[in-house]
Amino acid sequence: MPPFSTKDRPQPSYHLMNLSTPGRFGGKQKKKKKKKKKKKKKKKKKKKKKKKKKKEEEEEEEEDEVEDEEKEAEET
């Protein structure tokens, strides 16, 4: 008869079993976490707005010139 049976043998504590390692205690291998790629934020184009503003200003100036010419024509 052995000094103590395997049933009476104390179980190793959970942290000593090191379950994250493969093999000996039947633990699973740790999977490496994949790093998520950061998405680059797209910069909004401001040039189009500037062009629109320029076009609007030019149209307003042209309208003002046309109105000024009409007033001068009415005066003469």
More confident site: 51 or 39: 39
Amino acid at 36: K
- Closest Cα to residue 20, out of 7, 8, 29? 29
**pLDDT for the residue numbered 52:** 77
Question: pTM score, two decimals?
Answer: 0.29
pLDDT per residue over 6-45, tens digit each? 666 666 555 555 555 555 555 566 677 888 888 888 887 7
**pLDDT for the residue numbered 15:** 55
